[in-house]
Chain A
Amino acid sequence: MEILKSATAGTLESSDALVTVEPGEGIELELSSSVINQYGRQIRATILETLDRLQVQNARVTVVDKGALDCTLKARVECAVFRSCGKSASNIPWGGVIR
């Protein structure tokens, strides 16, 4: 998917993450997390895998993590990407690229 415009998803509540995607060159990930020392690598891997699954090749991605589970991180990244393409409201490929 191509990141057409800047979009965000999520919140700064505990167990959540705020994800922002913007148009960019290649994948540029800026991550801050309340549990960066414990889970930083895992969080980064989950975000990058999700972007890869959605075939996002060019994006500037900012994630402020507040201790989100992997399933929440995935949901927030996916929603931000679909929002940036204006496709988040209907006909989502549940079980396809969303899995």
Chain B
Amino acid sequence: MSSYHPKFAVVGHPNKGKSSIVASLSLDDSIQIGNTPGTTQVKRGFPLKVDGKIVYELFDTPGFQRARRVYAWLEEHGDVPANRRIDVVKQFVHEHRDNKKFRDEVELLDPIINGAGIIYVVDASKPYGAEYEIEMEILRWCGQPSMAILNLIGEEDYREEWSRALGQYFRLVRTYNPMTAGHKEHVDLLESIAQLNEAWTKPIKQAIEVLNKLYDLKVEQTVSTISDYMVKVLSFVHKQKIVGEEATPHEEKVAKERYRNKIIEYEEREQRDVEKIWQHNDVQKEEEQLNLDEVGLFSQESASIFGLSQKELILTGASAGAITGAGLDLLVAGSSLFLGTVIGGVVGGVGAMFGFDNLYELKVLGQSVGRRELTVGPMQNLNFPYVLLGRALYHASLMAKRSHAKREAVNLKEVSFTEGVISAEARKTLEKVHVKLRKGKELEKEELAEYTSTLQKSFLELLE
């Protein structure tokens, strides 16, 4: 099996957004990005791998530091035909590998002399300068397929003058803003790269397919995470033992507080999971914590015997009575017309119903068999599920759209979840599930699938 795969080196002047472009294309938010020149010290490969097999590899490189000196050296040693200029560049790298003065140039030229295509990055929000021509000349000496990326770091736009100059050195010139680029722009750029070399077309096409699949998978995982979270939160019931017949205000306050904390914990976990799905591992957030003060939490006391609720105890009593009755029926070989079973069941059930309170007081080995509990949840507020959904979908859409080149905190304060995002029909489907969860009923598999599919539609609309 051939180990050949296309490689691309992202090169350029210091501080022109090379690392940002690599972070955006490799979906890696751990890359150090800074406005201090020399942030990237050594080249770093970012392979796109499918089951361990590399489809293509991107290299982040340090910026040119002593381009004039390199070019002077090349000219001095480069009295050769154009087809052999790459050998002169190789010779430069070979001779200066241990020279600290040219460490950055050696690092950036190394992948190129080993067959990497060139992606030259400039900041097109700043004016063009002739000093860049030295760098472009050095890259031209390498003779590798190349393209230039116009990165708009600032607000001004000098793309026209840059394009005129870059067009003389590079086959393709494209605009790509790593701070705002999403999945579509990522794919568009890869399609441009595929045009540089015929041999790269197939692997890049495969890479595009893979990235599309990855994107779809992330959408699916996100929706599934949100759906699971909604089911957990809406069906969550907090129970705690109480001392007396009725809960004291303090017990009630503690129970509600614990309920709230659990809901907040669920939300935090859901957000972490979604961030992990979209490969944002170190994202800072500015957000307002979920406010449950105004949703009206209800609590209620209930009793149990041996951990059985009154309903369960009635069923148990009826079952036991029916078995005893059935035994009697069998003894008379069924001539009782199974009246024993019926009567036994009724007596057992009714007995358990009326005997519940007396049994509750019973003590065995000094331990009371009965127990009183305070229950908070499931949440009965009709609007609460949509508040949760709004927050979850908004957060997820920000994560899905957020470039991996961004380092500033995400602003989650302005949660605006309009009615338009969830259509009336979708709301009907969601509400059916919410009603069931509010009643503490379990969801059927099909209901959950329909709920998730409705959420997916709303999420995709948010991503558009």
A and B bind: no
